[in-house]
Structure 1
Amino acid sequence: MEEFNRTLLNDFILMGITDHPWLQKFLFSFVLLFYLLDICGNLTIVSLVVRDPSLQSPIYFLLANLSFVDMLFSSVTVPKMMVGFFLENTISVKGCITQMFFFHVLGCIEGVLLAVMGYDRYVAVCHPLQYIIIMGRSTCIQLVLASWFTGVTYSLFNSIMTSQLPFCNNRKVKHFLCDVKPVMKLACKDIHVNELTVALVSGFLSIIDFSLTMLSYVYIITHVLKIRSSEGRSKIFSTCSSHLILVFLFFGTAMCTYLGPTSETSLEKDKIAAILFTVITPTLNPIIYTLRNKEVRNSVRKLVKRSNILRILLAK
């Protein structure tokens, strides 16, 4: 009978963020707005980098990849989350594992890309004369491929480990997405080893990425302090501080989510953390990394000007 009950379970129910109707409507509008800004902003960055020859440098190649990952990262979770504000949000077990796989693939890739971009800024600031040689196109492509390889390997580990667990009659995932910790809590067997493994592997990757990123910025700050020009120092510090806000936001929420113990209280906190790195951070990335950049603003102006000229020609 126990084995029959285990095979009978073929879907889960995602519990969402809140049961209050007024708050559901507010959060739906809030999430929809940020999701649209996320897609429009990141799609603009990718389009500009692909089309504008003046943006064919290593940093913009990396930024375009980050924007592409951000769009996918949000799209894996946000549409399903918005459904849950008004309807019972069911998902098949296979669909849940698939969402988990892509969620962790893209999240891990973003973490590695942030570390790579920190290294890119270190080379640009501390070794400007060697920048083109060190950060050549082949090197950038290899670093991006390495981030995808790391993400796929890490996510396969989580997904396969979770898919092997027996799930009995408890269908309610206490989250708005199929993340590894709340899904494992539904297993009808002892999961202490699984939880410890997830914490060790996720923690190791997060700490390594965060440490490498911070190391790059420590070298940058040390180098900048030697610059005599106050204008030059303030410009680089302004850029670095903006980047570091996103680094702390992304890695801080990730490490709090996967390094902490799994409990009812921690799962509620994980929902808030997940909103930050699936909704807020992908929207802020194009604003902080590129839309404040002079070269990108010029590229946007050229694109708008070309669009106006095209409109005039079509009107004639």
Structure 2
Amino acid sequence: MSNGRIASGNDSSVTEFILLGLTQQPELQLPLFFLFLGIYVVTVVGNLGLIVLIGLNPHLHTPMYYFLFNLSFIDLCYSCVISPRMLVSFVKQNIISYAECMTQLFFYSFFVIDECCILTSMAYDRYVAICKPLLYKVTMSLQVCLMLTVWTFVMGFAGAVAHTACMLRLTFCDSNIINHFACDIHPLLQLSCTSTYINELVAFIVVGINVTVPSLTLFVSYTQILSNILRIHSTHGRSKAFSTCSSHIIAVCLFFGSAAFMFLKPSHAESLPQDKVPPIFYTIVGPMMNPFIYSLRNKDVHVALSKTLKKSILFKS
């Protein structure tokens, strides 16, 4: 074996890949390492803190916070799949085995789709809360919340299996250098020396389902929400209704806005340095920002945090 390849007759197949990371400029490596290390630490602490806070406070055991709990869990796992490998590329050559790369691709795909679905479920929750408040407890029952969560993870698993299975059928023999910070679909397809038609077709179908359906659901939900808010005569009532949706709208725009740029790009298109920027927002920045987006202006979270800290102080004393 040499240069990450192993011979097999007249062909050769890659046994390991080299992840180039964000940049090859030496003067940027160390500053970027500390920047993204800080982001990773804040992401883990923020999402883990929100998970614990929601779990410990019974008054947060409502559909809205149930979905927020799941979003924080997904973001925490998501970050742990991407960030550690990304940090390695800043300090040394980032060599990843074929098996590790395919595993990262599976979980990368899994959590991207999960994020799409859980944000969609949260939009439905906000729609019911604002447009059908009297039926909220009945419509958003525990069974419905569990069903939406199961749907989220089933869609993520199905999409990840489809992407990974199709990638496993390819042969990589021309190069083992991935011009990206993670084992993503587009950079890997560019390295294949066999036909990627099936992969592109499956990607089109899976991405189409997991972008089109959530996008339509979000559009319809917020059209109805906006229509109902505009019919509220009280300025205070409108402000309160907008505040219940503002956090979710910011999270949706951050995720779908950046993800759309990559997912709508043809898989055969040449990889450019700027193509690494959008994934940073939906894989790195988004998971870090979500705990703050949902907690900074949230009185329920502030009260829960205050109670938890008081209990902790009393317990220690």
Any stretches of 5+ residues in structure 2 without a counterpart?
A: 1-5
Post-superposition Cα deviations, 1:26-57, rounded to whole Å, max 9, x if no partner, equal 22122111111111111111111111111111
Distance 1:281 1:105, change over 3 A: same
The residue matched to 2:166 in structure 1 has which SS? helix
Say whether the 8 Å CA contact 2:187–2:271 is kept in structure 1.
no
Say whether the 8 Å CA contact 2:113–2:156 is kept in structure 1.
yes
Distance 1:223 1:97, change over 3 A: same
Distance 1:5 1:252, change over 3 A: farther
Q: CA RMSD for the aligned pairs? A: 1.8
Quote the residue 1:91 is aligned against: 96
Any stretches of 5+ residues in structure 1 without a counterpart?
A: none
Quote the residue 2:71 is aligned against: 66
Quote the residue 2:3 is aligned against: none
Asked if residue 278 in structure 1 is aligned to residue 257 in structure 2, the reply is no
Partner of residue 138 from structure 1, selected from 139, 143, 164: 143
1:171 deviates by 0.5
Post-superposition Cα deviations, 1:147-198, rounded to whole Å, max 9, x if no partner, equal 0000000110000000100111411011110001111111112324432431
1:203 deviates by 2.9
1:278 deviates by 1.2
Letter of the aligned partner of 1:171 in structure 2? Answer: N
How many equivalent pairs are there?
A: 312
Say whether the 8 Å CA contact 2:162–2:202 is kept in structure 1.
no
Partner of residue 237 from structure 1, selected from 236, 242, 245: 242
Q: Distance in 2 between matches of 1:181 and 1:6?
A: 23
Say whether the 8 Å CA contact 1:203–1:255 is kept in structure 2.
no
Distance 1:159 1:6, change over 3 A: farther
Q: Which is further off, 3-12 or 64-73?
A: 3-12
Q: Distance in 2 between matches of 1:17 and 1:263?
A: 20
Within a 5 Å distance, the mapping from 1:36-185 to structure 2 comes to 36-185=41-190
Say whether the 8 Å CA contact 1:15–1:173 is kept in structure 2.
yes
1:7 deviates by 4.8
Q: Distance in 1 between matches of 2:218 and 2:27?
A: 41
Say whether the 8 Å CA contact 1:84–1:176 is kept in structure 2.
yes
Query: Runs in 1 of length 4+ with deviation above 4 angstroms?
Result: 5-8, 263-267
Within a 5 Å distance, the mapping from 1:153-302 to structure 2 comes to 153-262=158-267, 265-302=270-307
1:2 deviates by 7.7
Letter of the aligned partner of 2:217 in structure 1? Answer: L
Quote the residue 1:17 is aligned against: 22
Distance 1:19 1:222, change over 3 A: same
The residue matched to 2:173 in structure 1 has which SS? coil
More helix by share: 1
The residue matched to 2:183 in structure 1 has which SS? coil
1:292 deviates by 2.2
Post-superposition Cα deviations, 1:258-280, rounded to whole Å, max 9, x if no partner, equal 22123565553331111111111
Q: Distance in 2 between matches of 1:6 and 1:14?
A: 23
1:252 deviates by 2.0
The residue matched to 1:260 in structure 2 has which SS? coil
